[in-house]
């Protein structure tokens, strides 16, 4: 299958694929120590912008995984998005005082 194109804008936490706006998540937070396919952004805390972002993840059950460049090892946020990797279906979305966590279920499509 031909990779699809994602179109985003600087500063937005969303990008469009085939005209649909999807939330973007950073590859940096993908826990790759095992095969669990877990995402764990322990820095994300409740705020109006973050709550709307998480609501979009829960609603669509899909995210765009992005490649990124962290600010530094000690302070990764803010990130610089360096590219789009793929659209993923997700499940088990949790958002609380310990940040945002979910499980990558299935790679829907690759992105260019």
Which pLDDT band holds residue 98 (cuts at 50, 70, 90)?
very high
pLDDT of residue 75: 65
Tell me the pLDDT of the chain averaged across its residues. 92
Contact call for residues 102 and 39 (beta carbons, < 8 A)? yes
pLDDT digits (tens, 9 = 90+) for 42-84: 999 999 999 999 999 999 999 999 998 877 777 676 788 899 9
At 10 the pLDDT is 85
């Amino acid at each position: 299958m031909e990779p699809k194109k994602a179109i985003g804008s600087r500063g937005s936490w969303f990008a469009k694929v085939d005209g649909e706006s999807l939330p973007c998540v950073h590859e940096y937070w993908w826990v790759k120590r095992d095969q669990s396919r877990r995402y764990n952004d322990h820095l994300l805390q409740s705020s109006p912008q973050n709550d709307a972002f998480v609501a979009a993840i829960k609603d669509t059950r899909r995210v765009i995984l992005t490649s990124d460049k962290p600010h530094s090892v000690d302070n990764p946020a803010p990130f610089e998005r360096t590219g789009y990797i793929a659209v993923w279906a997700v499940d088990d979305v949790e958002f609380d005082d310990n940040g945002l966590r979910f499980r990558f279920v299935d790679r829907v499509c690759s992105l260019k």
